[in-house]
Homo-oligomer: A and B are copies of this chain.
Amino acid sequence: MFSLTIRDHMMIAHSLRGEVFGPAQRLHGATFVVDATFRRAELDADGIVVDIGRASEALRAVLGELGYRNLDEEEGLAGMNTTTEALARLIADRLADAALSGGLGDGARELDGLAVTLHESHVAWASYERPL
């Protein structure tokens, strides 16, 4: 099995709902350093997992819709607790949509899966992985 991972980041404000979050229930924020991993069993005719240029643009586009925003006020996220885990899934699902719709190139439709890791600090990170 092959994989390719690219890294980018976004900076957001949000608050979390639930006593378990303690002081993080207050409005605060995070830099999420985001690793997007694309997997496939065999390489394509060019010898790659995915076009790294198109994958980087797709990741940048997904993060651009979230970054430099207060996620508490984003209509598309209404009712969602924007935990690191939940944002990892959101980003993975949007990248999967891009892959399936051809946005990462024709070959990317043959990806077997992808994973997204959000690093919220030097001591904590969360991941979500899914098939494509």
Contact = CB atoms under 8 A, between A and B. Distances in A.
Interface residues of A, number: 59
A78 interface: no
A30 B33 contact: no
A86 B19 CA distance: 32
Interface string A116-132: 00001111111111100
A52 to B, nearest CB: 6
A127 B7 CA distance: 15
A97 B18 CA distance: 26
Contacts of A123: 6-9, 122
Contacts of A69: 26-28
A49 interface: yes
Which 10 A-B residue pairs are closest in the complex by CB-CB distance?
A29-B29, A13-B13, A47-B81, A23-B68, A13-B29, A31-B31, A7-B123, A18-B46, A47-B83, A28-B68
Interface of A: 1-9, 11-14, 18, 20-24, 26-33, 43, 46-49, 51-53, 67-70, 80-81, 83-86, 88-89, 105, 120-130
